């Protein structure tokens, strides 16, 4: 089936974003591309290709199914790290394929050791510690038991990492909490070191922490949203701004564009209602373009009478309600318009742009949410 809209993934934009991150962190830390949530809606197969072409050799996923997908598409045997969900019965497959994974409780740890023993192959694990996020992670109280197991079973384990995750590095209001988290992380690190347990890589930082806290970079940074060309929050930019040269005020480029085309044109007389219900009544004669994208494609219903698209480089407002598969936009003010013409839902046309931020703002979503709501069925094309 030919999809009614498509996403363009810009390889050059991604390269630029990674180059900026690299300029902030220096040559040593590994950049892990976070590709959870179908690579923030960009598509895992496409982003693995684009990221590897940009020199990335490390990927982070939330779940095992995403990790297997990355593994299938990786051309360079990149390292893969699962930060969240896996099913214990998948451990043999994960260990065999040398996919590393977070371990944050004794159940997963013991299952990993058992599987490693039976396969006679080391499990590659990252020990996640609780520093104040309160989602997953070993507590300091359990440290003795953890240390005892890690020492006893060390020949079955490859200690790839010691890690934690910050509870909102993208907002200054959370920074005292985040700094306290880092202190607790260091406490864990020292405690392990006292027992002569060391890890291949120490890692804590997401995009915001990477941009704002150089002391948190350590050996690896986990870059999600910034790689796709977005500030984690506007605040992140304002916090970083004093350390930027003016030419760096806009260092990120949006990787994604979302495009469709005009399905049909519809003239409407004055005083008529458009679409379902009575949310929009014409005040004059209008020409509407019907675009075959609706809420089933991730174009949110809340954009009814609020969204904007670009046609012929001109901003055209959405009129009436967003339907399941279609939306009407006002093209009365355009000189020339015809079916099949390109419609930009997100991206640039001429010198105009519909940004993800404006899109997300109108839908009252954060960038992250808007992007991951893009269905995986929409086709994704890589462009440079």
Q: Could you say whether residue 206 binds ligand PLP (CB under 6 A)?
A: yes
Instruction: Point out which residues pair with 58 in neighbouring strands.
Output: 79
Active-site residue 36, yes or no? yes
Among 67, 83, 123, 129, binds ligand PLP (CB under 6 A): 83
127 close to 199: Cβ distance less than 8 angstroms: yes
Binding mask 32-71 for ligand PLP (x = CB under 6 A): --x-x-----------------------------------
CA 76 to CA 70: how far, in whole Å? 11
Least Å from the CB of residue 9 to ligand PLP: 17
178 close to 215: Cβ distance less than 8 angstroms: no
Least Å from the CB of residue 161 to ligand PLP: 11
* Backbone phi, psi, residue 147, to 5°: -60, -45
Tell me whether residue 230 or residue 280 sits nearer to ligand PLP (CB atom): 230
Tell me whether residue 212 or residue 310 sits nearer to ligand PLP (CB atom): 212
Q: Binders of ligand PLP among 230-249, rule CB under 6 A? A: 232
Q: Could you say whether residue 222 binds ligand PLP (CB under 6 A)?
A: yes
Least Å from the CB of residue 221 to ligand PLP: 9
Tell me whether residue 212 or residue 318 sits nearer to ligand PLP (CB atom): 212
Residue among 14, 36, 160, 202 flagged as catalytic: 36
Tell me whether residue 232 or residue 251 sits nearer to ligand PLP (CB atom): 232
Beta strands in the chain (DSSP E): 6-10, 30-34, 58-61, 79-82, 100-103, 123-128, 157-163, 201-205, 220-223, 256-261, 264-268, 286-291, 308-311, 314-319, 327-330, 342-349, 352-354, 379-383
Helix (H, G, I), strand (E, B) or coil at 234: helix
Question: Comparing C-alpha atoms, which of 71, 134, 120 is closest to residue 99?
Answer: 71
Active-site residue 276, yes or no? yes
Q: What residues are labeled active site? A: 36, 276
Q: Which residues bind ligand PLP (CB under 6 A)?
A: 34, 36, 83, 165, 206-208, 222-226, 232
């Amino acid at each position: 089936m030919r999809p009614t809209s498509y996403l363009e993934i810009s390889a050059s934009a991604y390269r630029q974003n990674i180059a900026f991150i690299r300029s902030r962190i220096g040559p040593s830390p590994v950049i892990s591309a976070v590709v959870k949530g179908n690579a923030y809606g960009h598509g895992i197969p496409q982003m693995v290709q684009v990221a590897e072409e940009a020199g990335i050799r490390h990927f982070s996923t939330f779940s095992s199914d995403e990790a297997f997908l990355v593994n299938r598409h990786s051309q360079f045997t990149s390292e893969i790290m699962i930060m969240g969900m896996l099913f214990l019965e998948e451990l043999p497959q994960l260990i065999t394929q040398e996919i590393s994974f977070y371990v944050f409780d004794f159940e997963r740890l013991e299952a990993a050791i058992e599987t490693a023993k039976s396969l006679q192959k080391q499990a590659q694990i990252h020990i996640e510690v609780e520093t104040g996020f309160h989602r997953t992670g070993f507590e300091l109280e359990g440290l003795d038991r953890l240390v005892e197991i890690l020492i006893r079973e060390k020949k079955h384990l490859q200690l790839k990492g010691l890690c934690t995750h910050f509870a909102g590095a993208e907002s200054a209001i959370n920074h005292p909490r985040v700094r306290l988290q880092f202190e607790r992380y260091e406490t864990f690190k020292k405690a392990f070191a006292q027992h002569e347990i060391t890890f291949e890589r120490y890692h804590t930082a997401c995009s915001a922490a990477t941009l704002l806290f150089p002391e948190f970079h350590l050996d690896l940074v986990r870059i999600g949203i910034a790689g796709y060309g977005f500030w984690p929050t506007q605040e992140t930019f304002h916090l970083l701004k004093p350390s930027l040269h003016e030419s760096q005020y806009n260092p990120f480029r949006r990787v994604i564009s979302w495009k469709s085309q005009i399905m049909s044109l519809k003239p409407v007389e004055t005083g008529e209602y458009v679409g379902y219900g009575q949310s929009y009544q014409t005040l004059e004669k209008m020409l509407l373009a019907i675009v075959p994208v609706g809420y089933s494609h991730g174009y949110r219903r809340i954009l009814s009478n609020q969204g904007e698209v670009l046609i012929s480089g001109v901003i055209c407002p959405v009129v009436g309600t967003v339907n399941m598969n279609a939306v009407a936009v006002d093209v009365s003010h355009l000189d020339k318009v015809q079916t099949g013409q390109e419609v930009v839902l997100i991206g640039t046309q001429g010198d105009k742009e519909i940004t993800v931020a404006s899109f997300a703002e109108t839908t009252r979503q954060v960038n992250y949410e808007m992007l991951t709501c893009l269905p995986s069925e929409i086709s994704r094309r890589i462009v440079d």
